[in-house]
Amino acid sequence: MISWLLGSKVRDWAYFREMFQDFENVAVYSSAQGVIEIVKVSDLDPLHSQVTVLIHPRNLNKLVISYLKLKDYVAFPVFNLKDLRELAQRRRWRAIEYYYLWEFEGGWVLYDCKNCEDEQRLQINVDPFASVNERLAVWEGFHT
């Protein structure tokens, strides 16, 4: 259905918002050159997790998150294990860690937030190697 997007140039956030308004969970990943490589959609179902639209963080070395919409969460990648675990200690925050053998390759931090498009957009624009304080500053901008 949406496979025609693959290989096309990335559009702006508003375009994706309108296109995917009927989906609860969507992620669009593109190359550094701005070409759409992956589109993942998921409707919340009791048997499936809405975070299935998130890809393995190691792929973010080659891909960029162009659009991310999660119904009940804000999510962002983190490549420092210590920072990821520190953030996951906060109330209503959690993390998904990815390893190859015993080596941490990256992860996703998620926190509860219903329909938080602006906050999501800001979080994915923060560098995945940014400090915990930068992440918390975005969160505090919406929750204080």
Asked if residues 73 and 109 have their Cβ atoms less than 8 Å apart, the reply is no
Distance (Å, whole) CA 79 – CA 130: 9
Report the DSSP beta bridge partners of residue 68.
Answer: 27
Cα three-residue angle 117-121-126, rounded to 5 degrees? 150
Map residue 7 onto helix, strand or coil. coil
Q: pLDDT digits over 11-62, tens only? A: 999 999 999 999 889 999 999 999 999 999 987 655 456 678 999 999 999 9
Q: pLDDT digits over 79-110, tens only? A: 999 999 999 999 999 999 999 999 999 999 99
